[in-house]
Structure 1
Amino acid sequence: MRNVLLLLLLVSVFSAVTVERLCAKSGQLVALQCPRSRQKPEVVWSTPRHRDIASANRTDLLVLDGELVLLRASEELQGKYSCSNGGHSATFDLSVYTDPSGDCVNVTHNQHCYAGRACTLDCPASNTPQNTAFSSRGVTWQQGGRTLSREEPYFSSVKVTDRGVFTCRRSYEFRGQVYDMTFTRELEVYQKGSPLVINCTGWISSGFDEIYWKIGESLFNSSNTARVFSSAPVVRGERMTVSLVFKAVTEEDLTSVFTCKLAALQQKSNSVNVTLAQKESLSYKAVTVTAVVIPAVMLIFVLIYIKYKVHITLFLRDTLGCHGNVSDGKRFDAFIMCYRSEQGPGLSADDTTTLQSVLEGHFGYSLCLFHRQVLPGNAVAEAVLECVEQSRVVVLVPASPDLSSEWALLSAVHEALVERQTRLVLIKTASTEKGRAEPLSETLQLLMDLGHCVTWPGSPAPSSFFWKQLRYHLPPVQESHTLSLLPQAVVL
């Protein structure tokens, strides 16, 4: 007889421990979920007055796919609800209130944010319907009777003055009717110290009864006036979360061990130990050095490029092939055209020949030359304009009047060069640089302002800087021209 009484006492203790107490506001929606087993058998809900709620044919109590839904909570519906699910069972003690009192005096959910940081208020989702028959109509927020514009208020940099009480309303539509669930959020903003929140989450269906935080053998209480405290349990579906909140982390906390324990009477309890480590912060010295070094390195690269841009461009073009190779329909790479040198003797006939032969024979450019393309008896001006049209760039070479037969055409074609925005490269001599005291003609000055100038040093070698500078202003040699220079097989 003593053993029977002891067994009954243990059963009653287990029943008391496994009861989950809930509070709901009168007239609002409440949904209860029974822990699911892996076999997923049929869930049976019961009350002290009804062994099977599903067979009671009540319009205010619905069982949908194992979920118990109270469409509008009332004092008549408060009490204990039990469910069984293939060996798993749970009991819910529901209290319905109009004004918070008694067991439902503390129905406010606290949320902690820290001054100067981003903060988003989240609306609790405990005891919300999971069945797809309920369609969510979103969340609305209010504070002091004022409806907020955002679904979930967001503070990019929360201030102490932003703290207060917020109310969120979740709305669901079911069979043409709208049902509401309201929750109260109290925003606490901490201003000083190094804040920290550690969450501990467990599955209710795994059999534990309680989650709590402790240090050594001392438990943390839920008073948010303490520097370190444990938050109230938050249940979402089958998960329960309890947070350990540090308003400010101290040196003592870094040497302590904090334990989150999942207590269970029916099986062995589990626990997790947590230690804190100080995060290495980037020193002001490192930040200052970085802020100085990066711009300095960028400036050095810019200066190096400005000084050696000719060499860098030719290296990328010739060695790495970094240039556009799309055909533009032009027949020639450059048109060599002489102009009358007004401040010096200009290039001699041998220098002009050297210029043309090095560009063609050594570097592979395809040139349009006056004495080759302008045949006797043809309209000279039209032939010159055709060379301009078929060339990617026009190279103007200074020559004395007795050596240049096309210099007189410069005045006639310069308008066409300006209108077409033809790419121009002008070669000057060293004597031209020294004799700039005399003004240039209007035509030559206009073309010189439009083009790029390169100074002829006098019979330069192909490796000299003159050729690098000239090629820098000339376009890359087209592949079709390069291929045409390859030796051709002769068929006999």
Structure 2
Amino acid sequence: MDLSFPMLLVAVSCLRNVCVAIDEDCVDLGVKVESVFTIPGEAAMLTCHLDKNVTDSDIISWHKSNPDGQLSVDNRWVQVQKNIIWLLRSTLQDSGTYMCILRTADQCFKQAMVLSVNETRPEDCSRPYRPTQPLTTVANGLLFCPLYSYMAHLTKYSFKWYKGCEPLLNGDKYSNVNRDMLVIKNVALSDAGNYTCRMAFTLAGSAGYISETISCEVKDQWNLRPMVSEPINDTIKANPGSSFSKTCRVFVPGHGDHMVDVVWALDHLISLNLSDRVNQIPLGKSRVENGEWLEVLLNFTEVEKEDFYNTYRCMVFNDKGLVVANFTLLPSEPNHLLSVGLFFGSPALIFIIAVAMWRIIKIEVALLFRSSFPCLYPDPGCDGKLYDAYVAYPRSCGGAVCGGQTCRAVEEFALRILPEVLEGELGYRLFIMGRESLPGEAVADVVQQNIGKSRRLLLLYSAFSLSHPDAAESLERQLAVHAALVESTVPAILVELGELVDSTVLPKAMQYLRSRQGAVRWGRSSEEGTMDRGRASDRFWKHLRYHMPPRISQTSPPEKNFLLKI
């Protein structure tokens, strides 16, 4: 065999003083997929990966597949570290295929790798091979120097960054220019370009350097550090055996796409399987003007004792770092306040309901009681009163009809509707001025005398009946109100006809009466000029009967009244 091509050239691989050629029967692991790139004058590192732990008794040798197979170890710019070979000053002639051979006591392995030394132009400050790293606008950006494999085998090194051919300095725009990670502040579209990181190092007393160029692409989008809206590092209480859920709400400020992951975790990631008792459910995303909301639900189908006193963390991952928010789940305390509130509040609630129901049905109950137990009420004839009610209403004043049609409706109600129902159907006796009084009698005397003979005062009025000044100041109304308020001899019943009357238009005395005892409101409208009186069982008539004295037997009207009706 011709030992001149290829031959063992590094450490010449002699075992027990026996030289072995590289074409011996070794397990061939092929050619490494990744090639190594460098430029003249810079270092290159070739690593042999044989998937085996190398021991001190194992022997590794290096060979270069070229026409003469020569690789001199006398060159100070070539350093060998077991499965690594360093070429500290690469030349164009160093390009080619390199092979490492590992020999153990009973096996042999070999692997090939390719080194490409690319020639560059003097004016070109960048490396020919340029991996791409994208950045986004507005936010700060990070460029990582892709020399991790070199740094792992060196103990002393330093960095310097360039954009194009210009060295970068720490300042308002850049920081970390002396480290393997360059920070670009407030990235703009103008920051796109080629960035070169150069690492200088010392190996076994020999200096070398190596550089990598990054093609930086700037996208017109930006994202800032996410913010967790909830949970807010608090404690939450839940009842054992109940269901429970908590939403993690995260806001991602920015414009455009983002890579943000939100997960719930305990001492492990919470399951995404909905059939599990404790699981997490992504609720989706919602885009807003200056960012996006993300929501993930932590769900307990049933809370158990083992779930308490644990801290559940909402973890947010993106290229800006890790954001964590949490809450602690505690068992709910017995709600003694609720029990006390129910104990004292239930009677109060029952009382309020009872009062409300009584206000609704008291009229029905009172009328039913009157009709069922008349013996419990005193005989009305024993009080010396002649009439059950004195009816006072506004009439035509000085020949003018006050209030027009509305005033005539009040007169119709007083002269026809009231007598038909209260006298004709219910047996009450009413005194109505002009019907029971005789012509020529003094009005003041008639009013005072008959109010004193009556058990109630019925004061009829409407919104328009009080508009005429003479009606508003009628002598009859003044005497009736005086009897109700000042003398307090006769209980008054206010009957409001038509639309609801604004209290501000009422005279002061009637405002006081209305505020103290309210008014019975007649709301029926007239049809074709005739007022419908309704039935005696209607609510209005029941309300009016409730305020009237207990019903008495109907008696024949006095003789003078009878003559007036002929």
Q: Which TM-score band applies after superposition, normalised by the shorter structure?
A: 0.3 to 0.5
TM-score normalised by the chain length of structure 1: 0.34
TM-score normalised by the chain length of structure 2: 0.30
